[in-house]
Chains A and B, each alone.
Chain A
Amino acid sequence: MAVCIEVIAKENYPFYIRSTPTENELKFHCMVHTSLDVVDEKISAMAKALVDQRELYQDLLYPTEDYKVYGYLTNSKVKFVMVVDSSNTALRDNEIRSMFRKLHNSYMDVVQPLLQPGGLHPVQGL
């Protein structure tokens, strides 16, 4: 399981954060926030290359000693960041991908205005 999941708006402010264990929330916040550097760089590289972005999954953003940080970018530039414990070797690339896809789907369910009026409030979360 991921130890922290965060949804970040296009303008890089956090929508939603959920982490276990909660007493370390600040640390995860920092980690996710700093990982945006890498995402930003990837976005600007994509803009430069003028390629059609098909791949939403952004791969391992950076490894720290204890955690791995993965990123995912929707077409509307909403970012999902997931922090995984480095020691958790059960989580391969494929698992991470499918977790992101699930997250994306549930995110869509929440924000889709036509389906459910009164979607997302930015700070209070989902």
Chain B
Amino acid sequence: MRGEERQRRTPAHSRALGWDPGELGAPRPAPRAQGTCRAARPGTSLTGARGCAPRPRWERALSRVAHLLVLVGTHRAGRGAPPERTAFPTTKRQRGQRPTGRASPFGASVVAAAQSSHWQTPIACAPGLGSAQPPAVGCGLGAGAAAGGAWEVQRLPDARKSGVKFRDSHWCRALSLRPRKCFLCWGRWVQGSLACWSCLWGCSGGDGPRRSVTSPRLPSSCPGWRRQASAAAGPGRGAWGFCDIVNMSPTQWDLPVELCCRPMAFVTLTGLDVVYNAVHRAVWDAFCANRRADRVPISFKVLPGDHEYPKCRPKRTSYEWYIPKGILKTGWMNKHLNLVPALVVVFYELDWDEPQWKEKQSECATRVEIVRQSLQGRNTKVAVVLIQKKTPLPPGEDVIASERAAALCNACELSGKSLFVLPHTDHLVGYIIRLENAFYEHAQTYYYTEIRRVKSHKEFLNKTTHQLLFVRHQFKIAFFSELKQDTQNALKNYRTAYNLVHELRAHETNILEIKTMAGFINYKICRLCFQHNTPLDAIAQFRKHIDLCKKKIGSAELSFEHAAWMSKQFQAFGDLFDEAIKLGLTAIQTQNPGFYYQQAAYYAQERKQLAKSLCNHEASVMYPNPDPLETQTGVLDFYGQRSWRQGILSFDLSDPEKEKVGVLAIQLKERNVAHSEIIITLLSNAVAQFKKYKCPRMKSHLMVQMGEEYYYAKDYTKALKLLDYVMCDYRSEGWWTLLTSILTTALKCSYLMAQLKDYITYSLELLGRASTLKDDQKSRIEKNLINVLMNESPDPEPDCDTFAGKTAQKLWADRISLAGSNVFTIGVQDFVPFVQCKAKFHAPSFHVDVPVEFDIYLKADCPHPIRFSKLCVSFNNQEYNQFCVIEEASKANEVLENPTQGKMCLVPGKTRKLLFKFVAKTEDVGKKIEITSVDLALGNETGRCVVLNWQGGGGDAASSQEALQAARSFKRRPKLPDNEVHWDSIIIQASTMIISRVPNISVHLQHEPPALTNEMYCLVVTVQSHEKTQIRDVKLTAGLKPGQDANLTQKTHVTLHGTELCDESYPALLTDIPVGDLHPGEQLEKMLYVRCGTVGSRMFLVYVSYLINTTAEEKEIVCKCHKDETVTIETVFPFDVAVKFVSAKFEHLERVYADIPFLLMTDLLSASPWALTVVSSELQLAPSMTTVDQLESQVDNVVLQTGESASECFCLRCPSLGNVEGGVATGHYIISWKRTSAMENIPVIRTVITLPHVIVENIPLHVNADLPSFGRVRESLPVKYHLQNKTDFVQDVEISVEPSDAFMFSGLKQIRLRILPGTEQEMLYNFYPLMAGYQQLPSLNINLLRFPNFTNQLLRRFIPTSIFVKPQGRLMDDTSIAAA
């Protein structure tokens, strides 16, 4: 094979194929870098053509990304893009043939392109990798100084999602717990990691834990890690930690680190001097720094060029006689992860123009040869990287380069594909990324051949002797697939391997090995399933695994091993599940990692139990010597085998004695395992999970288990802390059975620590009604409690550790001798003590002169009667506390004596009622008296005293629930004797009001409603004392009742003095008017005047307060009593005033005419139910009005009854004012009035009424007639008409008189005349009445030529149209004759 290759790799060969030496070494533009497929140079048309092969779209897109990378790395010489590296295709095969076994994800065309133009390959590879799970970010590791180290990146599924953040937080947690020490060797740690440099970079060597923990990320199955993480992530409250987190050495049950890590291709770099050579150092840094998700998953390691790789065993030619000794060798996985590289890269500094080329070339060839020697028999690839100072020229330009490259390939027996140039320029990282992509391809080819190699063994195997090999090979294939990053095939092969494992013949001797391997493979399958985002597959696989293995217990003597293994299986799965969740998987309440941790804890508990029963050897049994568990190498050869019979496949025990010793050794070792710690860790993991998935009860349940485990581990403080923390949850939900069980454990803890207060508290509750303990248990606890109260030691709790019990007894003895505070106050609102208490005031309110009474009901639920020493009640006003104390000066030993006598004794099941009485303070009138607490003391100060403190009027943690239950219950209560009550029927009444003494006076109001607006309304208050003694300091508060409409307050005024009108300054409410003292039976009267400015109803309050001396409970007290009366008074208008304007003819006027007299008529209608006296009235005219005659009141001292009215009439005239908009003000009408019934000295009220405005109009002509008031038949009736011209013009007036049947007349019947401005024309007529009665006068018609609007209708307003004519009398009326 090698010979063939060598033949092909001749420069001549390459030339023959058209290889232009000029291309050698000269940078060749990367076609992809152009973003197109065209050939960059004519000379490379073949390449270009290949490059043009159709590519998937995503690949093109990604190549553009790569293009950027290229530009970063190759900005130079204006020649487009120089290559990241130059490669030297020298063989024919590379030109077209597709190499076998290359599994590129890009399909054939891409592969072909990659073959011909090598610089494309890394670009093309990158996206493919990106689509696989990218590696996790190795934070903290990076450009540090490191000598010849290895570097691995552990890849996690989709680290992009997880981000660096969570990683960091984990780190911080871990670091905060274990700072500054390497977790492996306790050396100085490296910033941001958990390990020291030597462990991080530790060069090879299969020694112990150093070998592969180079990633900063600890594998999740590492016990120390898990413990730390869970401790840090543990529940927030309660600061329980772990007893011992230092113990970090992995136990045999932990999965090996190399199994849990993510396999990555292993590539070694030789020829780099990273300590002394800065260039090499930079190269190494570029390889290992900043390995993000987009970098290929390779684990690099720097090794010296002459490093000895593990020797390859000679190839087996036949399997015929071969019998395998076990399934999987313990070193195998590590060997392929960290020791046997897929590719060895030889770095060598050599420029193309090196003067001593020959020497250098041969040195390089030697180096390659040395590496090849060391790898004899392996398929490991070798590649050479020339570190060059100069940037290579474009391909084809550097003739020497191509020549020398070919020569070098030849000398080193390398294919052109394996020779790379690394110009050491500015763009190192870009070159390095290309390089490692190329390495990755080589590595994949290597693993592919490895898989083929393993597969090729298959045909030689037979099913009888090589069963183990079937599993082994299948596992190896799967593992190599993983290294090749082919997770789908890996999963498939692991599944096959899993099935094969279970086909193995199982026997007690090999069951452990089978289980171990099944566990390993199961782990891998589940891990890959989660990685492929098929969690249900993972869960199904795990269930199958558990179901298959559950019953494979193996040796009964070592059955704890099975439990340990089971526990580990669950834990590892929980870890995987949790890891997947952190990377984005969603879990649900009923399917979350918590269940697996819980189950793991359950198996750990089982392990503990089994270990306890199987490993209870006498102390005299010595650990066997020589140690059967020791092996020569310190490690086992095969996973899961017994150290004392490694490689023995026989099911018969060849040496039973040896077996016995081995079992004993394991048992003795198991005895030293800190089981509780394991259990607690698992439980706390589960708690954290259940907390996350909203399972509060599950969380509590697990915390109880944790508490119990702490109890077994004798860490009573932590046990108590946990138990105490969850108790309230059970209490609040009323799960008494569970609570009792927790309390029992808690009591033991407090006993063993001699924690007095806790001991007493738990005892109190265990005796109470919430406890489901049997009576004998309760009796015991009660006895202990009484002992403690008498300052004696309690009896030990049953089932306690004997040693701890002894310590406890000492502690108790110390407690007894200790003087000091022996009084404990325990608030009962948070638990359910055995004494119940309810306080009930007899009434919701008490008068201040009556003693306040209340009952305290007490009930004990303990089995035996118990005596209390003191009961005191506290109030919000502490002055009452002194009255409500029951105390009995009893000695400590009296607690038990005469238990049933006296009220200080509580008989179980009986309700004890204690009556308390006190007189309230007069200051507390109107206040609430509240019972703030009830304190019941058990024991006394000389011994120990426990004070139970009920907040408010009693009730404890269970009370509200019981009340609810009682309300729902339909159960009829049996009848009890009169003096007993049902406990449930007592309702707590913890507060009462103190109200003032009942007054014994009468208050009468005398008044005449309704009140009239603005009047001084008289209210007569009569107060009469009916008290037996004199009352003092009588005070009257009267007026508008507060709390009504604010407007009322402003319009209501109260005074005691009715003689003067009150104004706005008077208040609405008169307060505390001293009235003096009153003797018994005496009566006093007080007048009160109220003036209401507006109508409406008002509430008036009359409040009389006084002081009186009285006695309550033989105590002299001064009581303040008060009585109030409220009255609602309606206020009404006293009268309505109507005003109208009429003409001189008493005709209604819409408007008045300037200068023409008119009448103002007022009409005052009484609306008051009471008689009113109008004292006087007054008309106050506005300046624009003048009076025609005198304005005398016409209604003075008129008394108006309801409904009566008083009218007045005033003749007024309005001078011409021109046209006034809105009319002319008339003036005010003022009425002075009072109630007729009012007393003399009551002031008169003036009510002012604003008169309406009137519209004034000018008329051109005013006519008034001068005629007698009546006529007489056949007697002359002289009538004179006066016509006044009111305009400034000469008026033409046409006058005509129309005859009337009732009159004859003389005078001008028709006339036309002129009237000068301002003058008056008289027209005289003599009418002669012909008929008696009310007769129509001959009508005067006037027609004004200038004012056609002046109609006769208007005229009729001024002049009479008819007259009364009397019949002819006997006596001659002289005046009428004279007038005629």
Contact = CB atoms under 8 A, between A and B. Distances in A.
Contacts of A119: 969-971
Contacts of A65: 599, 602
Interface string B590-622: 100001000100100000000000000000000
A7 interface: no
Interface in A32-68: 33-34, 36-38, 41, 61-62, 64-65
Interface size class on chain B is 20 to 34
Contacts of B696: 37
B970 A12 contact: no
A123 interface: yes
Interface stretch (B573-581, B732-740, B1111-1119): B732-740
B329 interface: no
Contacts of A13: 733-735, 961
Nearest to B698: A34
B972 interface: yes
Contacts of B730: 33
Contacts of A120: 969-970
Contacts of A23: none
A14 B734 contact: yes
A90 interface: no
A38 to B, nearest CB: 6
Contact of B695 (A11, A37, A122): A37
Interface string A8-27: 00011110010000000110
A124 B737 CA distance: 12
Contact of A37 (B589, B599, B736): B589
Given A38-B589, A61-B590, A33 B964 contact: no
Interface string B956-971: 0000010011000111
Nearest to A119: B970
Query: Does more than half of chain A's interface fall in helix, strand or loop, or is it mixed?
Result: mixed
B733 A38 contact: no
A113 interface: yes
A64 B598 CA distance: 10
Contacts, number: 68
Interface string A101-126: 00000000000010001111111000
Contacts of A36: 697
B694 interface: yes
A83 B971 CA distance: 30
Interface string B732-757: 01111110010000000000000000
Contacts of B736: 123
A107 to B, nearest CB: 14
B139 to A, nearest CB: 37
Interface in B713-735: 730, 733-735
A2 B1362 CA distance: 121
A14 B694 contact: no
Contacts of A33: 697, 701, 730, 733, 735, 738
A34 B695 contact: yes
A78 to B, nearest CB: 11
Given A41-B589, A117-B970, A118-B970, A11 B733 contact: yes
Nearest to B733: A12
Contact of B590 (A11, A25, A38): A38
Contacts of A12: 733-734
B695 A118 contact: no
Contacts of B972: 117-118
Nearest to A61: B590
Contacts of B735: 13-14, 29, 33
A47 B308 CA distance: 70
Contacts of A117: 970, 972
Contacts of A34: 695, 697-698, 701
Nearest to B966: A122
Contacts of B698: 34, 37
Contacts of B738: 26, 29-30, 33
Contacts of B697: 33-34, 36-37
Interface in A60-110: 61-62, 64-65
A29 B737 contact: yes
Contact of A30 (B695, B701, B734): B701
Contacts of B965: 122
Contacts of B695: 34, 37-38
Contacts of A14: 734-735, 737
Contacts of A121: 969, 971
B964 A11 contact: yes
A37 B602 CA distance: 20
B834 to A, nearest CB: 16
Contacts of B589: 37-38, 41
Nearest to B738: A29
A11 B970 contact: no
Interface in B1243-1291: none
A103 to B, nearest CB: 20
A45 B475 CA distance: 46
Nearest to B972: A118
A64 B546 CA distance: 13
A65 B598 CA distance: 11
Nearest to A26: B741
A62 B590 contact: yes
B961 A11 contact: yes
Contacts of A61: 590
A113 B734 contact: no
Contacts of B694: 37, 41
Contacts of B602: 65
Most buried by B among A13, A38, A61, A117: A13
A84 to B, nearest CB: 16
Interface in B923-966: 961, 964-965
Interface in B687-701: 690, 694-698, 701
A61 B590 CA distance: 8
Contacts of A25: 737
Contacts of A62: 590, 595
B802 to A, nearest CB: 25
Given A11-B964, A37-B697, A37-B698, A118 B971 contact: yes
Contacts of B701: 30, 33-34
A90 B1376 CA distance: 141
Contacts of A30: 701, 738
Nearest to B969: A121
A37 B690 CA distance: 10
Nearest to B695: A37
Contacts of B734: 11-14
A14 B972 CA distance: 22
A113 B970 CA distance: 7
A118 B970 CA distance: 5
A61 B595 CA distance: 13
Contacts of B599: 64-65
B740 to A, nearest CB: 9
Contacts of A29: 735, 737-738
A83 to B, nearest CB: 15
Interface string B861-896: 000000000000000000000000000000000000
A121 B738 CA distance: 19
A38 B696 CA distance: 10
24 contacts: A11-B733, A13-B735, A14-B734, A14-B737, A17-B737, A26-B737, A26-B741, A29-B737, A34-B698, A34-B701, A37-B589, A37-B694, A37-B696, A37-B698, A38-B590, A41-B589, A64-B599, A65-B599, A65-B602, A117-B970, A118-B970, A121-B971, A122-B965, A122-B969
Given A34-B701, A117-B972, A119-B969, 9 more contacts: A12-B733, A13-B735, A14-B734, A26-B741, A34-B697, A37-B690, A37-B695, A62-B595, A122-B965
Question: What are the 6 A-B residue pairs with the smallest beta carbon separation, nearest first?
Answer: A13-B734, A37-B695, A34-B698, A122-B965, A113-B970, A34-B697
Interface of A: 11-14, 17, 25-26, 29-30, 33-34, 36-38, 41, 61-62, 64-65, 113, 117-123
